């Protein structure tokens, strides 16, 4: 269980005005059984409609998770429609088909396409984040995204190269600025989020996250070396090198993600009235990921809904929000609607954005 | 008008998080629903048009007003805000074991139906696509591969020309509709191999020519590759994979990395099965091409045996015997693009009758 106060149906909806914020864990009421019905219905309807329903299925799935996520007794709401997602998906799919077709006939066109993709990606990511934010509301006020092309280009195109060239030593520095950009680029209505975690916190987290994976990788290497020493010839030096590196990267990535989330949320504020907390245990988060994958594999996918609910619930229960001024009125701004193309294109391309 | 329903809750003006206690008045009428909010001071809003009902108690209205009921709406009121389709889907989603089993079974049947339908559709689409387009894809692919995987051939030009002439005669006697060009290249990347690119050309590596030894054996392999081109297998394979990938991405979604990996694996398994079917078909048509040209079909059998055993070439004695037994006994795996040696040699022997 997390260290946050759990809010029940009888708990007061709001803390007293002007008080030090009492952290309240985010409530999640979804169940594996309930979600299984939605998941299998979504799958069935998507298949019998040749995939057309999958756009509406996506909306249904997100609504289930959002609607069951409550903060101070108010659920989150999701406003995208299946038609919007379907249109975005159709355009994204058409672009991908044209790309595949043209590059299959004229392979050299992959060069201009790659350049166009590199320069177009920050724009697409901004569109995707904006769509996702504008479709999410709590207490009738929607989130928004204000990221700029230049900063998105820097974080999504330039920084990955810098991280590799620095052999990982600059990863914590980049993580600090990236997470800050992600948080401060968002607003709740017209009120901006702020985050001011120090670089040293990310470096400390980096070392913590690397410690266990180094031990795990060393263990795997020793095990493989022992197997190899028995001389059955099945293991080459490449195997002995590859598996520990893979184990290290997998363990490290999951644990560092959890640590960065904690650092970011603990330093985050919304205007003068809301503060946040995150108590995700990197080891528990890792265990949930590994055991979920095993359960899904053993059940041939049937435990997927249970696994998704379990992971989501843990993250929700480990996240707290404090509101110091109950009567504070957040305002939203009327903005132009943004299409789902960016999000669907990013999804289709398998790019993961978020924290 | 019927008796109105009154629901206690909180009402929000557009673009504001500030709430006021209110009662929602919901009254079915001839036009559909008549909805207003009665605020705590007694004021009543203008009629509200419901946009969306979420979380069984959150109503979003056109224009941006919002109402959150203090308790989940009773079923008879919630259903008033849902379309007939939404109500049907909600019934489908309500969990019960028999329903889950029935849906699971229906899903398996659908997947099996698609398993049969996609290759058929791929074959139909491939037939409808112009030859010119397929040839263009093949030529472009060959141009790229020449840069990355092929070097100039060391086979004397006269021998190359003779093999080309005899291959053209094979196509003529077998009355093939497609006459692919044949190229020879040295390739460390592909080793002893022959490839049929979409619409032709066919590429034969120097390493294969050296392994097989005789021109007749090389022609036997070329006949197999000609069968691939004749049946447009490469194009069908591309369409099969594209169809399966499109279906998997829309059905399984791509927002979960675990599912994404799973769908990529399924697509591979799916396409490998098709690939094995195409190889078998090309093997058998290749034998017919050889027979039509009065060449011994056993040449192809010998070529496949040599290719199967090429990994054992440097061994001797017991090690060679073990390697031969092991290579020939391999059974078909899910992840193989070609039929396993055991199956392949088996059906070829049966088809040749020896």
Alpha helix (H) residue ranges in B174-316: 206-212, 215-230, 233-252, 257-292, 298-309
pLDDT higher than threshold 80 for residue B73? yes
Residue A145 has pLDDT above 90, yes or no: yes
pLDDT for the residue numbered B75: 87
Mean pLDDT of B293-298: 90
pLDDT digits (tens, 9 = 90+) for B173-224: 999 998 899 999 999 888 888 999 888 889 999 999 998 989 999 999 999 9
- pLDDT band of residue B262 (cuts 50, 70, 90) is low
How many domains does chain B divide into? 2
Q: Which residues of chain A are within 8 Å of residue B93 when distances are taken between CB atoms?
A: 37-38, 41
Tell me whether residue A275 is in a domain: no
pLDDT single digits (tens) A148-185: 999 999 999 999 999 999 998 999 999 999 999 999 99
pLDDT average, residue stretch A239-250:
78
Q: Do B95 and A329 touch (CB under 8 A)?
A: no
Residue with the two structure tokens 């298949």: A47
User: Do B279 and B139 fall within a single domain?
Assistant: yes
Average pLDDT over residues A334-340: 72
A326 touches B at CB < 8 Å? no
The secondary structure of chain A, three-state, reads CCCCECCCCCCCCCCCCCCCCCCEECEECCCHHHHHHHHHHHHHHHHHCCCCCHHHHHHHHHHHHHHCEEECCEEEEECCCHHHHHHHHHHHHHHHHHHHHHHHHCHHHHHHHHHHHHHHHHHHHHHHHHHHHHCEEECCEEEEECCCHHHHHHHHHHHHHHHHHCCCCCHHHHHHHHHHHHHHCEEECCEEEEECCCHHHHHHHHHHHHHHHHHHHHHHHHHHHHHHHCCCCCCCHHHHHHHHHHHHHHHHHHHHHHHHHHHHHHHEEECCCEEEEECCCHHHHHHHHHHHHHHHHHCCCCCHHHHHHHHHHHHHHCEEEEECCCCCCCECCCCCCCCCHHHHHHHHCCCCCCC
Lowest mean pLDDT among A75-79, A239-243, B267-271: B267-271
Q: Look up residue B178 and give its two tokens.
A: 């497609």
**Domain interval for residue B140:** 128-310
In order of A232, B144, B186, B189, B200, the CA distances from B207 in angstroms are 31, 20, 7, 11, 20
**Which residue's entry shows tokens 């998105």?**
A152
* CB of A44 less than 8 A from some CB of B: yes
Q: Do B88 and B208 fall into the same domain?
A: no
**Per-residue pLDDT tens over the stretch B106-134:** 888 887 888 788 888 888 888 888 888 88
Q: Confidence class of residue A9 from pLDDT cuts 50, 70 and 90?
A: very low
- Assess whether pLDDT exceeds 60 at residue A6: no
pLDDT in tens, A320-331: 999 887 667 888
Judge: A41–B257 Cβ closer than 8 Å, yes or no.
Answer: no
Candidates A41, A63, A66; nearest CB to B103: A41
More confident: A4 or B209? B209
Inter-chain residue contact A107 with B140, CB threshold 8 Å: yes
pLDDT-above-90 percentage for chain B: 41
pLDDT at B235 (0 to 100): 86
How many domains is chain A built from?
Answer: 1
Query: Which chain A residues are closer than 8 Å to B140 by Cβ?
Result: 104-107
Nearest to A46 among B94, B250, B255 (CB): B250
Disruptive mutation site among B9, B58, B69, B95 for chain A (greatest number of A CBs within 10 Å): B95
A47: contact with B, CB 8 A cutoff: yes
B114 and chain A: CB distance < 8 Å anywhere? yes
CA distance B114 to chain A (A): 9
Alpha carbon distances (Å) from A24 to A136, A262, B140, B228:
20, 16, 61, 66
Question: Residue A60 sits in which domain range?
Answer: 30-105
Query: What is the Cβ-side half-sphere exposure of residue B12, based on CA atoms within 13 angstroms?
Result: 27
B85 and B139 part of one domain: no
Domain assignment present for A84: yes
Q: Do B268 and B160 share a structural domain? A: yes
pLDDT at B255 > cutoff 60: no
Whether residues B147 and B53 share a domain: the answer is no
Indicate whether B60 belongs to any domain. Answer: yes
Burial class (CB in 10 A: 0-12, 13-18, 19+), B13: middle
In a domain, A208, yes or no: no
B113: which DSSP letter?
H
The CA distance from A117 to A120, in Å, is 5
Check pLDDT > 80 for residue A237.
no
ipTM of the complex: 0.84
CA of residue B99 relative to chain centroid, distance: 29
Residue B283 maps to a domain:
yes
**Chain B partners of A89 at a C-beta cutoff of 8 Å?**
250
- Has residue A59 been placed in a domain? yes
A79 part of a folded domain: yes
Q: Is A51 on the interface with B (CB under 8 A)?
A: yes
In a domain, B331, yes or no: no
Closest alpha carbon within chain B to A294: B258
Asked whether the beta carbons of residue B253 and residue A68 sit closer than 8 angstroms, the reply is: no
Q: Is residue A336 part of a domain?
A: no
Residues of A in contact with B85 (CB under 8 A): none
């Amino acid at each position: 269980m997390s260290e946050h106060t759990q809010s029940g149906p009888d708990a007061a909806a709001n803390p007293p005005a002007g008080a030090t914020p009492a952290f309240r864990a985010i409530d999640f009421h979804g169940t594996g059984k309930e979600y299984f019905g939605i998941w299998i219905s979504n799958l069935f309807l998507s298949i019998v409609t040749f995939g057309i329903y999958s756009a509406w299925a996506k909306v249904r799935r997100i609504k289930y998770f959002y609607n069951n996520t409550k903060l101070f007794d108010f659920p989150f709401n999701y406003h995208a429609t299946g038609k919007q997602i379907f249109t975005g998906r159709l355009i994204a799919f058409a672009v991908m088909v044209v790309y595949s077709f043209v590059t299959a006939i004229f392979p050299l066109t992959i060069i201009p396409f790659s350049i166009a993709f590199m320069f177009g990606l920050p724009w697409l990511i901004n569109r995707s984040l904006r769509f996702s934010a504008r479709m999410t509301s709590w207490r009738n006020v929607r989130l928004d995204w204000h990221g700029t092309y230049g900063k998105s280009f820097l974080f999504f195109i330039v920084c990955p190269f810098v991280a590799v060239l620095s052999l990982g030593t600059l990863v914590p520095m980049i993580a600090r600025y990236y997470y800050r950009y992600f948080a401060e680029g968002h607003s709740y209505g017209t009120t901006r989020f702020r985050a001011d975690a120090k670089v040293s916190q990310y470096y400390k987290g980096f070392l913590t996250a690397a410690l266990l994976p180094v031990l795990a990788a060393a263990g795997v290497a020793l095990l493989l070396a022992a197997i190899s020493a028995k001389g059955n010839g099945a293991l080459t030096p490449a195997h002995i090198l590859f598996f520990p590196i893979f184990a290290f990267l997998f363990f490290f990535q999951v644990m560092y993600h959890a640590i960065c989330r904690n650092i970011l949320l603990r330093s985050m504020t919304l205007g003068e009235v809301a503060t946040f907390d995150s108590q995700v245990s990197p080891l528990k988060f890792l265990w949930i990921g590994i055991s979920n994958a095993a359960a899904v594999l053993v059940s041939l996918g049937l435990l997927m809904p249970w696994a998704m609910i379990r992971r989501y619930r843990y993250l929700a229960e480990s996240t707290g929000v404090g509101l110091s001024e109950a009567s504070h009125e957040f305002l939203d701004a009327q903005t132009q609607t943004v299409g789902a193309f960016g999000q669907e294109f990013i999804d289709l391309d398998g790019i993961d954005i978020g924290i | 008008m019927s008796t109105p329903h009154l629901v206690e809750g909180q009402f929000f003006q557009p673009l504001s998080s500030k709430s006021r206690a209110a009662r929602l008045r919901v009254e079915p009428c001839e036009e559909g629903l008549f909805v207003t909010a009665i605020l705590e001071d007694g004021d009543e809003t203008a009629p509200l048009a419901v946009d969306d009902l979420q979380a069984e108690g959150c109503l979003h209205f056109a224009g941006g007003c919002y109402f959150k009921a203090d308790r989940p709406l009773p079923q008879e009121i919630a259903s008033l805000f849902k379309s007939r389709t939404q109500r049907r889907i909600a019934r489908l989603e309500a969990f019960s074991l028999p329903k889950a089993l029935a849906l699971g079974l229906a899903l398996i049947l659908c997947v099996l139906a698609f398993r049969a339908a996609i290759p058929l559709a791929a074959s139909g689409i491939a037939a409808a696509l112009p030859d010119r387009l397929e040839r263009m894809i093949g030529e472009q692919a060959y141009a790229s591969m020449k840069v990355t995987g092929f070097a100039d051939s060391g086979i004397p030009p006269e021998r190359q020309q003779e093999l080309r002439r005899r291959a053209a005669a094979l196509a003529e006697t077998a009355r093939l509709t497609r006459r692919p060009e044949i190229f020879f290249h040295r390739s460390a990347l592909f080793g002893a191999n022959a490839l049929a690119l979409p619409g032709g050309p066919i590429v034969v590596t120097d390493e294969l020519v050296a392994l097989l030894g005789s021109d007749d054996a090389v022609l036997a392999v070329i006949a197999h590759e000609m069968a691939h081109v004749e049946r447009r297998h490469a194009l069908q394979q591309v369409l099969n994979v594209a169809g399966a990938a499109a279906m998997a991405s829309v059905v399984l979604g791509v927002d979960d990395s675990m599912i994404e990996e799973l769908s990529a694996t399924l697509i591979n398994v799916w396409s490998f099965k098709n690939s094995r079917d195409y190889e078998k078909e090309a093997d058998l048509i290749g034998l017919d091409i050889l027979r039509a040209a009065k060449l011994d079909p056993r040449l192809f059998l010998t070529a496949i045996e040599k290719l199967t055993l090429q990994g054992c070439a440097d061994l001797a004695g017991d090690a060679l015997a073990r390697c031969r037994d092991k290579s020939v006994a391999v059974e078909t795996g899910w992840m193989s693009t070609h039929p396993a040696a055991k199956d392949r040699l088996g059906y070829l022997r049966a088809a040749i009758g020896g």
